[in-house]
Structure 1
Amino acid sequence: MTEQFDVVVIGAGMAGASLAAELAPHARVLIAEAEAFPGYHTTGRSAAFWEECYGGPDVVPLTLASGPYLREHGFLSPRGALYVAREGEEAEVEAFFARFAGTGVEITALGRAALRQRLPGLRPEWGLAIAEPACADIDVAGLHQHYLAAARRGGVQLRTKARLTAAEREGAGWRLAFADGSELRTMILANAAGAWADAVASLAGAHAPGIQPLRRTVAQLRTDPAPADDLPLVLDLAGSFYFKPESGRLWLSPHDETPSPACDAAPEEIDVALAIDRFEQVVDWKVVAVERKWAGLRSFAPDRRPVYGHDPAQEGFFWFAGQGGFGIQTAPAAARLGAQLLLGRGRDNMTVGLDAGLYSPARFSR
């Protein structure tokens, strides 16, 4: 007899694990993961931080709503952030403040002396900065395991090496087939497949809005001097690099966004070299060695807002995708909102201020 579920969630990364955990008290749920273990792709390769401005003003409400949950459960460690800019880029600094005015983020201008105290070795042309004191490191692995454990306690089943190969409407629900030959029935198919979100939609006959995977590269460097443990996250206001300390080493990214097919992403040497070149234009530190390098895929809808909600045309198909690089820092509020939308339940204190219309898949209706 074919097993029957209320919801089958495709993908066991942060998106799928958090959504399943929120659904667990209210529905019979299964997570189907194509890889051998959860979090193999983007979640397992993230250099995540909780950074209030990351993702832009439309993402800020999700980030701020998630902050208390992340702090309460011990997943955040204070870091602070600095957006840096060159002399002569005052207009860009003013535009940044204007962009986030009224959003609730805490940002302040930092003077030249204070900037150099916080970032030793800064080259003289970099004289402008915006400080974001609330920025924090995220324990990504801990948060992911937290949601997987909560899902498991709630009775959610997890199946790995379960790549979806077919999804057909059958009566009021779905018949799903997987690469291992197994089949399941479910009332709702929830698409939390990250870089594969459009492919899952196509299998189910839903309109794929064009969620594009973009490759992001990170390298771990040994530098002289070694970065101080309390060095803030440093981001280029123009979006061409960021770096942060990690256990006596430096994690550096060229902030690349290279379109890619959905795949097991690998770093390109040119992107690592570009990151180092940009880093050396900011500080006078010596790069002693590149110790590790990796890449992950960050998936964005065309308007760069996440996609949460029931598909407007395909009954029983639910979107929980397009979360770019902000899906980890927004996981608590996004998953809570997603579960409420999927189940038709009311809002709670975490989600009451969120405008679900901003994230609805209906905005892509043909």
Structure 2
Amino acid sequence: MSETLYDFAVIGAGMAGASIAAELAPHARVLVLEAEDAPGYHSTGRSAAFWEECYGGPGVVPLTLASGSYLREHGFLSQRGALYIGRAEDRDEMDSFVRQFDGTGVSIERLRGEAVRARVPQLREEWCDAIYEEPCADIDVAGLHQHYLKALKTAGATLECRARISRFEKEAGGWRILSESGESWRAAEIVNAAGAWADVIAERAGARPIGIEPKRRTVAQLRVAPVAPDDQPLVLDISGGFYFKPDNGRLWLSPHDEIPSEPCDAAPEELDVACAIDRFERATNWTIEAVERRWAGLRSFAPDRLPVYGRDPECAGFAWFAGQGGFGIQTSPAAARLGAQLLLGLEPDELTRGIDRARYSPQRFSDMKARLTG
């Protein structure tokens, strides 16, 4: 039993928890509690992450663009490019996609016909319309995660693994946090960075759940002929039916699924892999020689699909850093800096200046409820 009173207890040591703890630790006493044997077991360790300016929609773009310079400066990005593809019947959807990003600062251009297949020669002819995003890059997810874990430890934060939380008790000065194994810790504030378990943690602390819903995403590694060149772009169906990218002579393929799930150790379903393969074969001329690996992870979304950063307006001493969907890794530098500034009462800096804090505040859900019941 620890009698140290930490300023912040961060729940979860995936990318969300590690990054915000690293930003808080130089300014405060920080404890990070991770349920698994090691950090990053769930979504962080299963990500096929890419830094893609449009991913998550216009509301996420400010976080993505702000994070890009940090990720490049620290060597976590490798140039890839992204190609959203469609058929003639998808033209209206392509036009709508371009319009929604007008004025956001993303770098996209329209391609048609042979210019599309020049990027990916194996595409079938009917996939004749595309939007190309040159800045898209692969992210060294493991390297970025270790970067934050090292930073939080260097700054003096304490990381405890195998710390499955059973309950929280309010006490003078903050909280007592109790684990299933009987350990306990004390902290002035709780920072909920528990990913798929965010609403579960909120309920155990007596906070109102926001409605953050985990959704399963499946990925399969294929061996194809001819071999997919590693310099080809990430390819995404404009209608959301699939995406794929080359990786060391193989292809990573996803059906772009978002299957509602309970918080769990996610596993791939054969039907989802089969759907991905069917869509892939309808769009390309590659021959699939083998499905070598398959895996799944959970992405967790708030009801409006925007992340949730900041103190809960109804539960004192409880803050949210959750609901980051599939874009939590690519936005982690700006998001963690912003989250820490909110909790520490700091002004924006060069990384977060211009980001609308209210857009991501948990207060928006209380305001929405008031309007609905008003």
Moved over 2 A (4+): none
> What letter corresponds to residue 136 of structure 1 in structure 2?
A
1:87-143 Cα offsets, whole Å, 9 max, x none, are 122211110111100000000001211111111121121100000000000000000
How far apart are 1:169 and its partner, in Å? 1.3
Tell me whether 1:27 sits opposite 2:37 in the alignment. Answer: no
Letter in 1 for 2:88: E
| TM superposition score normalised by structure 1 | 0.99
Q: Secondary structure at the match of 1:41?
A: coil
Q: Which deviations, in whole Å up to 9, do the C-alpha atoms of 1:46-90 show, x marking residues without a partner? A: 000000000000000000000000000000000000000011222
Amino acid at match of 2:251: L
- 1:101 is paired with a residue whose SS is coil
Structure 2 Cα separation of the partners of residues 117 and 108 of structure 1: 15
Count of residues in correspondence between the two structures: 366
Structure 2 distance, partners of 1:315, 1:190, is 12
- Aligned-partner SS, 2:217: strand
Secondary structure of 2:128 counterpart: strand
Q: Distance in 2 between matches of 1:3 and 1:26?
A: 16
- The AA in structure 2 aligned to 1:323 is Q
Residues 319-338 of structure 1 aligned to structure 2 (within 5 Å) = 319-338=320-339
Which residue of structure 1 lines up, in the alignment, with residue 290 of structure 2? 289
Matches within 5 A, 1:224-243: 224-243=225-244
Alignment partners' CA distance in 2, 1:121 and 1:244: 13
SS in structure 1 of the partner of residue 187 of structure 2: strand
Alpha-carbon RMSD across the aligned residues, in angstroms, is: 0.7
Secondary structure of the corresponding residue to residue 219 of structure 2: strand
Counterpart in 2 of 1:95? 96
> In percent, how many aligned pairs have the same letter?
65
Cross-structure match for 2:174: 173
Unpaired runs of 5+ in structure 1?
A: none
Provide the rounded CA distance (Å) in 2 between the counterparts of 1:281 and 1:17. 40
- Residue 265, structure 1, aligned to residue 266, structure 2: yes
> What CA deviation, in whole Å up to 9, does each residue of 1:287-324 have, x standing for no partner?
00000000000000000000000000101101000000
1:253 equivalent in structure 2: 254
Which runs of no fewer than 5 residues in structure 2 stay unpaired? 370-374
Aligned-residue offset at 1:231: 0.8
Q: Residue 126 of structure 1 aligns to a residue in which SS? A: coil
- 3-state SS of the aligned residue for 1:89? helix
> In 2, distance between residues paired with 1:353 and 1:123?
42
1:226 deviates by 1.1
Aligned to 1:307: 308
Letter in 2 for 1:209: I
1:2 offset after TM fit, Å? 2.0
Structure 1: distance between partners of 2:90 and 2:222: 29
Q: CA deviation at 1:43?
A: 0.1
Alignment of 1:1-366 (within 5 A): 2-365=3-366, 366=369
Counterparts of 1:250 and 1:21, CA distance in 2: 34
Q: What code does the residue aligned with 2:195 have?
A: G
